[in-house]
Amino acid sequence: MSPESAAAGPAKRQPKKVLLRLDPDVHAAIAKWAADDLRSVNGQLEFALRLALKQAGRAPD
């Protein structure tokens, strides 16, 4: 471990980057939903995915 990484403290989990193609109407609906909830489109997608995972009993611990 380098001194720089040791000084930074515990390792922070880095989010995965995903390229996603969406129908323009789906994107518009998500963008409106995100604006209504004061979230970014990316934040709204993560929210919706986490909600779906929880409802399916597959949420990460």
* Reported pTM: 0.75
Q: Does residue 47 belong to any structural domain of this protein?
A: yes
Indicate the pLDDT class of residue 29, thresholds 50, 70 and 90: very high
Indicate the pLDDT class of residue 4, thresholds 50, 70 and 90: low
Domain count along the chain: 1
DSSP 11-55: PPPPPPP------HHHHHHHHHHHHHTT--HHHHHHHHHHHHHHH
Q: Does residue 34 belong to any structural domain of this protein?
A: yes
Residue 2 pLDDT more than 90?
A: no
Residue 16 pLDDT more than 60?
A: yes
Indicate if the alpha-carbon torsion angle 35, 37, 38, 41 is positive or negative. Answer: negative
Indicate the pLDDT class of residue 14, thresholds 50, 70 and 90: very high
Q: What's the domain range around 45? A: 24-55
Q: Does residue 48 belong to any structural domain of this protein?
A: yes
What confidence score (pLDDT) does residue 28 get?
99
Q: Does residue 18 belong to any structural domain of this protein?
A: no
